[in-house]
Amino acid sequence: MAEVAIPEISLAQFYEEKQFLARRVPAQGCIETSFRCNLNCVHCYVNQPAQHREEAARELSREQLERLIDEIADAGCLDLLLTGGEVLIRPDFPDIYRSALRRGLRVTVFTNGTLITDKIADLFDEYRPFSVEITLYGATQETYEKVTRVPGSFEKCLRGIRRLVARCIPLTLKAMVLAWNHQEVGAMREFARGLGLEFRHDALLNARVDCGANRNPELQLSVERTVELDLEDPARRRDLSQALPLLPNQPEIAEEGFLYTCGAGQFVFTIDPYGRLHMCELTRRHPFDIRNGGFARGWNEHFPALRRQRWSRPSPCRTCPLTALCGSCAGACELEHGDPETPIAYFCRIAHGRAYALGATIPGHRADAGCCLGGGC
């Protein structure tokens, strides 16, 4: 029998071909298995103590998570992110992870890397993930542990990375950039490059999801330094530059007045450790309890109602052409201010700073974002 070549297409092409967005297929999901963490990072948007018994008791059990994985797979989920807190804090992680793979899901794991033992590395070697992503908090022990506030965590993270590299596990390193570690971003990038790994950074801190506290100004990097780091990173600079030709021609964001125009609740979802279904990792104020209502009802009834929300008042964000360079969205604004329509000034200034640093001139806009933050463009 002659061999038949099977054409390959990207997952994005598959989504488009099958009209996942238009059909509201929940293709990309995130399950936060625990909000507990063995580290105590100064900036973290959710990190309950590792041994917090009440938190552990509230979390979905392994059996509940496995049933949930069946539900989302039956609903059409293809991509699943397993994260935390620290995802490896749960001793039943291997069972949960294997359950997702058995249902044919393409699994990515976010971890701080400090709990990657030989046993966990062997698990990933035998049952390959799509990707593992590990966050670095510094290139030196002093900086790393100043952020994590846990002695010995730097070396544990490095050992975890080495274990995955030795087994050729698909691995990406990334950094949350703070005023405390920004001077080591270049060294972190070179460390990743030396291991043959991809690296990316993010300087946009979010408020905590569990108590609503705003970002600590002592930790938040300045707008100028954030833009500077963007331009120093060849990949980030390339991505931002590719968006420039589209900026003046972007249509009105909320042409029909809808508040949510992204994929949240349309093909993306997040489930927290307590069985609450959210449209995304940032939109947390209107959860659906899947323990009682089930995933399908939350997806098919609860989310469409949230997606029908419209802007209630004028906002520069509705028509701003710089959205491709901006980290703001309705979910981030809601997390920051309790109101999805109130812009995040810091994010707005960064978007304008990026545009003008790359040489763009946008009619009606200024580099300092005073055009938008001053009441309109």
pLDDT for 176-215, tens place per residue?
Answer: 999 999 999 999 999 999 999 999 999 988 877 765 545 5
Could you tell me the pLDDT band of residue 33, with boundaries at 50, 70 and 90? very high
Residues 6+ apart with CB under 8 A from 149: 39, 40, 41, 42
Last residue of a domain, one of 307, 342, 362: 307
7 part of a folded domain: no
Is 3 domain-assigned?
A: no
Is residue 291, in this structure, part of any structural domain at all? Answer: yes
Q: Are residues 303 and 327 in the same domain?
A: no
Poorest-confidence range of 183-192, 284-293, 325-334? 325-334
pLDDT(278) > 60: yes
Query: Is the CA virtual torsion 189, 194, 199, 205 positive or negative?
Result: negative
Whole-number Å distance between alpha carbons of 23 and 25? 6
> 208 and 67: one domain?
yes
Number of residues written out for the chain: 377
Same domain, 128 and 69: yes
pLDDT digits (tens, 9 = 90+) for 309-321: 999 998 888 888 8
CB of 316 closer than 8 Å to CB of 343:
yes
CA–CA separation, 320 vs 318, rounded Å? 6
pLDDT digits (tens, 9 = 90+) for 336-351: 888 999 999 999 999 9
How many secondary structure helices (H) and strands (E) does the chain include? 17, 11
pLDDT band at 377 (very low <50, low <70, confident <90, very high): very low
The answer to whether residue 242 sits within a structural domain is no
For residue 334, the enclosing domain spans 316-373
Tell me what the pLDDT averaged over the chain comes to. Answer: 91
- The per-residue pLDDT for range 223-266, each reduced to its tens digit, is 999 999 999 999 999 999 988 877 765 544 445 688 998 899 99
Last residue of a domain, one of 285, 307, 329: 307
Same-domain status, 201 and 329: no
Q: CATH number of the domain that 292 lies in?
A: 3.20.20.70
Residues 185, 126 share a domain: yes
Asked whether residue 184 falls in the same domain as residue 283, the answer is yes
Domain end call among 307, 324, 343: 307
**Dihedral (C-alpha) 13, 16, 18, 19: value to the nearest 10 degrees?**
170
**303 shares its domain with 169:** yes
Asked whether residue 200 is domain-assigned, the answer is yes
The pLDDT, as a whole number, for residue 46 is 80
Per the structure, how many domains does the chain have? 2
CA atoms of 182 and 139, how far apart (whole Å): 10
- The 10 Å CB-count burial string (b at 16+, else e) for 164-181 is beeeebebbbbbbbbbbb
Are residues 147 and 216 both part of a single domain?
yes
What is the percentage of the chain residues whose pLDDT exceeds 90? 67
Predicted confidence (pLDDT) per residue in 106-158, tens digit: 999 999 999 999 999 999 999 999 999 999 999 999 999 999 999 999 999 99
Contact between 47 and 37 (Cβ < 8 Å):
yes
Backbone angles phi, psi at 288, to 5 degrees: -120, 130
The partner residues of 277 in beta bridges, in order of sequence, read 271, 288
13 located within any domain: no
Q: Sort 375 into a burial class: Cβ within 10 Å, 0-12 / 13-18 / 19+.
A: exposed
DSSP string for 46-82? --EETT-HHHHHHSPPHHHHHHHHHHHHHTT--EEEE
Is residue 363, in this structure, part of any structural domain at all? Answer: yes
- Are residue 200 and residue 85 in the same domain, yes or no? yes
Concatenated DSSP letters of 215-281:
PPTTTSPPHHHHHHHHHHSHHHHHHHHHHGGGGGGPPPTTTT-BS--SSBTTTEEEE-TTSEEESSS
DSSP letters, 180-226, are TTGGGHHHHHHHHHHTT-EEEEE------TTT-PPPPTTTSPPHHHH
Residues 303 and 337 in one domain: no
| Mean pLDDT to the nearest integer, 96-100 | 98
| Percentage of the chain exceeding pLDDT 70 | 94
| 79 and 183 co-located in one domain | yes
Q: Would you state the pLDDT for residue 132? A: 98
Window from 46-50, 51-55, 97-101 with minimum mean pLDDT? 46-50
320 and 298 fall within a common domain: no
Q: Does residue 2 form part of some domain? A: no
